[in-house]
């Protein structure tokens, strides 16, 4: 199984605008999955959350995660990634969520920002990549 | 947190045609997530796989699962479900995958059937349901 995203599927993480369904693991061992915005830095899938949220707590405590990324134009073409959160940082968290707002909403600034939240960046290194379609 | 799907979001599991991103847990403890077809029987989210596949093995061994279901017309409206696989059966597995082929492909018969596979139905009982949008 490839450990990187094959060239033929890179459009799903570079040019196409689609969500990643990010699965993390709760303290109980149960999985948990929600759609998230993401960017790709050439190596990592990069997601953004806020300090203290469920996903933040899960990814810090249990860095093994999984993602499912569908082609918005063809639901039978997708990427399935199992990976590891290898970096968690608040550095650049605000700029990153603004860049995601630009990608997904066409807005220069993230419009749902709460004044008290601390935005956090998580870099996910793919370890197993499966493609379909 | 509600333990059933709220009325205002039932369209996502009844009338709309959308995938569920189903997260299961590997033997290693890592989550795994892929898009799947599903039906709703009024109480359970019902999915279909084939005997021996990764999802089949995971759901039999570790029945705690999670689903993320997006409104195809509004990606900021979705259901997040944490639930338990409460029933696994081969009974009616073929008829169920045909009914899913009807829902998702408009075909009377599931076209990707392999002659050797045994189709299996998994009934997922929602335990925690979160809605967005």
How are the residues of chain A apportioned to helix, strand and coil, as percentages rounded to the nearest 5?
20, 45, 35
- Asked whether the predicted pLDDT for residue A75 surpasses 90, the reply is no
Mean pLDDT on A108-119: 95
Residue A65 pLDDT level (bands cut at 50, 70, 90): very high
Q: Does the beta-carbon distance from B29 to A28 stay under 8 Å? A: no
Q: Measuring CA to CA, which residue among B94, B29, B19 is closest to residue B58?
A: B29
Q: Does the beta-carbon distance from B29 to A64 stay under 8 Å? A: yes
> What's the confidence (pLDDT) of residue A118?
97
Average pLDDT, chain A: 96
> What's the confidence (pLDDT) of residue B1?
78
Residue in A with minimal Cα distance to B21: A21
Residues A69 and A21: their CA atoms lie apart, in Å, by: 6
> What's the confidence (pLDDT) of residue B106?
96
Task: Name the more confident of B89 and A3.
Answer: B89
Domains of chain A: 7-132 (2.30.110.10)
Give the tokens for residue B16.
């709309």
Q: Which of A25, A68, A78 is facing B29, going by the closest CB pair?
A: A25
Residue B16 pLDDT level (bands cut at 50, 70, 90): very high
- Asked whether the predicted pLDDT for residue A1 surpasses 90, the reply is no
CA distance A64 to chain B (A): 6
Q: By three-state DSSP, how is residue A101 classified?
A: helix
- Asked whether the predicted pLDDT for residue A109 surpasses 90, the reply is yes
Q: Does the beta-carbon distance from A66 to B35 stay under 8 Å? A: no
CA distance A81 to chain B (A): 8
When computed from its CA atoms, the radius of gyration of chain B, rounded to whole angstroms, is: 14
pTM of structure: 0.96
Q: Does the beta-carbon distance from A33 to B75 stay under 8 Å? A: no
CA distance B19 to chain A (A): 8
């Amino acid at each position: 199984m490839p450990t990187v995203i094959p060239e033929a599927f890179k459009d799903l993480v570079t040019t196409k605008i689609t969500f990643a369904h990010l699965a993390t693991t709760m303290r109980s061992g149960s999985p948990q999955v929600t759609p998230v915005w993401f960017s790709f830095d050439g190596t990592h899938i990069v997601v953004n959350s806020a300090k203290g949220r469920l996903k933040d707590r899960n990814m810090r405590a249990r860095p093994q995660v999984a993602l499912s990324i569908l082609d918005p134009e063809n639901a039978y073409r997708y990427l399935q990634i199992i990976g590891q959160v290898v970096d968690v940082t608040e550095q650049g968290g605000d700029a990153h969520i603004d860049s995601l707002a630009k990608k997904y909403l066409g807005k220069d600034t993230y419009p749902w920002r709460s004044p008290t939240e601390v935005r956090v960046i998580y870099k996910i290194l793919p370890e197993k990549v499966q493609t379909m379609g």
